[in-house]
Amino acid sequence: MLLTGIIFLLMIMGCSKESSVPPILILARQNNFGTYTDEILRAEGFNEFVIDSLSGGRIDKSYLARVDLVLLAEAVSDSSCWRMISEYVRNGGNLIAVRSVHGPGELFGIVEIAGNIYGGYITIDTLMQEGESLSGRQLQLHGSAGLCDLKGGRAVAFLTDCSVSQKKYPGVILHNYGKGKTAIFQYNLPENIILTRQGNPALAGIENDSIPGLRALDLFTDGWIDTSNSIINQADEQMVLLSHCIESMTLNKKPLPRLWYFPDTLKCLVTLTNDGEYKSETDFEPQFNDVDSMGAKMSIYIIGVDNVSKAWVDKWTAKGFEIAGHPDDTREAANPDWHNMDSVIKAKKSEIEGKYGLQIRTNVNHWFVWCGRDAGGKPDFAAQARLEALNGIELDINYAHYDIKSNQGDYYLGPPGTNQGNFTGSGLPMKFADAKGRIINVYQQLNAVYDQQYNESNDPDGFYNCFKGLIDRSLYNEVYSFISVKSHNDEYYFSKVPLMKMLAYANRKGIPVWTALKLLDFIKMRDEACFTNNTWSNNKLSFNIKSSLTHSNDLTVMIPRDFDNKKIKGITKNGNEASFFVREVKGSAYAFLTVKPGANYSMVVNYGE
């Protein structure tokens, strides 16, 4: 509990000790998923926020008056707090709330009605400004949603239940209140993002798909996934809807800069991993040479360190490849124990560090074995992630698309080949959360393009087409994805030809192929960078960028091109004219400007007729 409190205090402090108040304030507590709003905003590139709670006693009228937007993700029972919040909005503030807030209906332009929807869908109105360029398909909801009627508000998304009638209710409602604006999500958005990405907490520690070994995939059984949505990232679409609401509601304040998802100005990124199992460096050498010849890099997770020399490891790490361990707890794959898994991870870390002088920072377990119970034996769908955090592992790639020979029916994670998507509903690496929504300091990266899935179905073309479909949708359809490919050394007899086609296709499209470790360093760098001292005066947006972590690739800032009927006429960086270009992203135009990470910048954006 002490560690949790320290982490929350650090979150409250924000990314700087600046005297000015960041434009976005998140109000949340360490329960009910509210603090995961932090991770959602970082994923969407809004790093100019601070997180606090109404219970802390620091939030008063004068503080709120300095904030452009409040994201309310905690329950408010004190009527005086509601009066303060209502006055803030009436005087020109902006408020976005999520389900469980239960505030005064007139503030949100709604009247609550009895009943809830469980496991329904949300459908975005793509004709509304906030829904422009988003998917109009029904997006799955996990958790409950409250019902309401409109009373002055306007719906930008609708809830539907799973009944035959498919009755529709307002799901996301915008409202003008006094001089300000409000929005309310009638469901717990952070909870839904977590459960869509991580699976069903009720299935933690249960073998449910009949494929030998407890894996994270068991959390997605029993109809948890609507596979008709395979080719869209339905969790990401809802996060973009939140971003659109933030941007449209702050038009009465100032433009908000964001960070682009990918390194440089790329629209996609590929990582390549290899489970080396018990093979030797002699076996690995031909595969590594093939990958290297294509300008790509690879991570390899090995079990048998006796078969791999330090000289070989030094040679390939110097070339930019990653060598890491492959913890093996398959002896208790059917029911992994917290303490035994912890011992296995510690032993593998000790082996890798002792022989090669390397730290294990990214991880894949043998068989993807997933510990689903905490130290006391209670079900915990994030137990494995919490174990990894305790052992200094920062990125997990144990979520993998594998559903062959399951009792759940053919392809319960989604169709194979070109139309295979991200069954987690997301193409973005984001941190895990526990069952209360508290952030775990380990990133989740889905291994979507998995060789064994297609080897067992004897489908090399499907293996390649799965990869190509994900890349093409990211490049051309804005279904943005960080794509992870697995190519076992044991199965290189199968994967070599399609893998070389993948790497050639990535080269033609200008998409780099990285190790998992390089991806981790980029995500950490991007999350650490932040915007400070945001001001708007005389048609000029001024802000600073603070970045202390370095990376070989650039960080890209995206700034709304249009604001207050004016367009960007020029940008200066540290007093000098800076080059930029304009790109449309999900229906909105942004100026894209790249900076070298690991430095601080002063930016001025000039808007004019």
Partnered with residue 540 across adjacent β-strands are 537, 606
DSSP string for residues in 278-315? T--HHHHHHHHHHHHHTT---EEEES-GGGS-HHHHHH
Q: Are residues 493 and 432 in the same domain?
A: yes
pTM recorded for the entire structure: 0.95
Average pLDDT over every residue of 106-130: 93
> Is 264 within a domain?
no
Whether the Cβ atoms of residue 172 and residue 245 lie closer than 8 Å to each other:
yes
Q: Is the pLDDT of residue 15 over 60?
A: no
pLDDT tens column, 376-397: 999 999 999 999 999 999 999 9
pLDDT the model gives residue 32: 86
pLDDT tens column, 426-477: 999 999 999 999 999 999 999 999 999 999 999 999 999 999 999 999 999 9
CA neighbor of 364 nearest in space, from 273, 236, 451 = 273
% of the chain beyond a pLDDT of 70: 96
Pull the structure tokens for residue 302: 């090995």
Query: What's the half-sphere exposure (Cβ side, CA atoms, 13 Å) at 545?
Result: 31
> Is 46 within a domain?
yes
Q: Are residues 536 and 483 in the same domain?
A: no
Q: Which of 222, 238, 259 is at the close of a domain?
A: 259
Partnered with residue 572 across adjacent β-strands are 577, 604
> Is 382 within a domain?
yes
Separation between Cα atoms, residue 49 and residue 243, nearest integer Å:
13
pLDDT tens column, 139-164: 999 989 999 999 999 999 999 987 55
Q: What are the residue ranges of helices labelled H in 14-119? A: 37-43, 61-64, 79-90, 105-108
Q: Are residues 9 and 145 in the same domain?
A: yes
Q: Which of 199, 234, 259 is at the close of a domain?
A: 259
Tell me the CA distances in angstroms from 198 to 43, 182, 536, one per residue in order.
16, 30, 40
Q: Are residues 598 and 513 in the same domain?
A: no
% of the chain beyond a pLDDT of 90: 89
Q: Are residues 351 and 241 in the same domain?
A: no
For the chain, the domain total comes to 3
> Is 409 within a domain?
yes
Separation between Cα atoms, residue 157 and residue 117, nearest integer Å:
15
Q: Are residues 285 and 429 in the same domain?
A: yes
pLDDT tens column, 211-266: 999 999 999 999 999 999 999 999 999 999 999 999 999 999 999 999 999 999 99
> Is 91 within a domain?
yes
Q: Are residues 381 and 279 in the same domain?
A: yes
Q: Is the pLDDT of residue 269 over 60?
A: yes
Phi, psi of 361 (to 5 degrees): -115, -20
pLDDT tens column, 542-572: 999 999 999 999 999 999 999 999 999 999 9
What is the pairing mode between strands 180-185 and 168-177? antiparallel
Q: Binning pLDDT at 50, 70 and 90, where does residue 75 land?
A: confident
Q: Which of 524, 540, 563 is at the close of a domain?
A: 524
State the DSSP H helix or E strand holding residue 111, giving kind and residue range, or none if neither. strand 110-118
Tell me the CA distances in angstroms from 503 to 102, 270, 454, 512, 560, one per residue in order.
51, 9, 17, 9, 34
Domain range spanning residue 338?
Answer: 269-524
Q: Could you report how far apart the first and last alpha carbons of the chain are, in Å?
A: 54
Q: State the CATH number of the domain containing residue 572.
A: 2.60.40
Q: Are residues 477 and 498 in the same domain?
A: yes
Mean pLDDT of the residues in the chain: 94
> Is 458 within a domain?
yes
The number of angstroms, rounded, from the C-alpha of 201 to the middle of its chain's C-alpha atoms is: 18
Per-residue H/E/C for 5-21: HHHHHHHHHCCCCCCCC
Q: Are residues 224 and 347 in the same domain?
A: no
> Is 293 within a domain?
yes
State the DSSP H helix or E strand holding residue 3, giving kind and residue range, or none if neither. helix 2-13
Q: State the CATH number of the domain containing residue 408.
A: 3.20.20.370
> Is 350 within a domain?
yes
Separation between Cα atoms, residue 135 and residue 153, nearest integer Å:
22
Reported in sequence order, the residue ranges of 349-455 that DSSP labels E, i.e. its strands, are 362-363, 395-396, 430-433, 439-444, 449-450
Whether the Cβ atoms of residue 276 and residue 326 lie closer than 8 Å to each other:
yes
Q: Are residues 449 and 336 in the same domain?
A: yes
Q: State the CATH number of the domain containing residue 205.
A: 3.40.50.880
Classify 232 as helix, strand or coil: coil
Q: Are residues 434 and 466 in the same domain?
A: yes
Q: Are residues 533 and 520 in the same domain?
A: no
